[in-house]
């Protein structure tokens, strides 16, 4: 059933013409997501509850702050995500066990309207995140995360706000990034 129409007398006043349009501030900031990821990564009761599988990544979903989406993820040696983005979600992650490497691009890419693009030569960034360290990122962040260790399992905590509407997966050959796949929540939940 459709909602009854509100009487016109109670309609919200119109904004004045040419009023500045401001984007709504996110109700959860990237800094809050990072604080949550770091706090949770330091909680053995949560980290130790993750089952580990030497053959592949494992994960459990958590409730993050303010309605955000959060995950604890286990990474066997040599596993990684491949290049992807998180659409309009901002996020953060923190390492709880082992060490993760993040390769990222120091540029904000258009999220739509392209299938393949050539990156300028100076955009690559890498960081290594040991236990108790993490990083936050804004919307349209493109990265890959991997456990480079030949021997040690890694565990990390990730949080995203808004909850991920989709993930775009890319292949990369040299400086050329190509959109390969769009995954939606039904693909990973």
- Residue ranges of the binding site: 84, 86, 143
Return d(Cα 162, Cα 20) in angstroms, integer: 24
Question: 6-27: buried (b, 16+ CB within 10 Å) or exposed (e) per residue?
Answer: eeeeeeeeeeeeeeeeeeeebe
Annotated binding site for Fe cation: 84, 86, 143
Asked if 146 contacts 79 with a C-beta cutoff of 8 angstroms, the reply is yes
> DSSP assignment of 22-55, as one string?
-PPPPSS-HHHHHHHHHHHHT-HHHHTTS--BTT
Q: What's the half-sphere exposure (Cβ side, CA atoms, 13 Å) at 115? A: 1
Is there a contact between 148 and 158 (Cβ–Cβ < 8 Å)? no
């Amino acid at each position: 059933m459709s909602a009854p129409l509100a009487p016109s007398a109670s309609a919200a006043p119109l904004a004045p013409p040419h009023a500045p349009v401001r984007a709504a501030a996110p109700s959860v900031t990237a800094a809050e997501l990072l604080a949550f990821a770091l706090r949770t990564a330091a909680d053995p009761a949560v980290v130790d509850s993750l089952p580990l599988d030497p053959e592949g990544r494992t994960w459990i979903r958590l409730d993050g702050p303010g309605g955000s989406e959060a995950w604890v993820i286990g990474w066997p040696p040599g596993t990684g995500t491949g290049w992807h983005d998180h659409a309009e979600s901002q996020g953060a992650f923190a390492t709880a066990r082992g060490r993760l490497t993040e390769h990222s691009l120091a540029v904000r890419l258009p999220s739509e309207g392209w299938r393949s693009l050539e990156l300028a030569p100076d955009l690559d960034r890498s960081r290594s995140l040991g236990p108790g360290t993490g990083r936050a990122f804004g919307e349209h962040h493109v990265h890959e995360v991997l456990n480079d260790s030949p021997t040690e399992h890694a565990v990390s905590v990730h949080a995203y706000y808004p909850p991920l509407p989709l993930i775009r997966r890319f292949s990369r050959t040299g400086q050329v990034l190509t959109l390969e796949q769009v995954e939606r929540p039904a693909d990973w939940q």
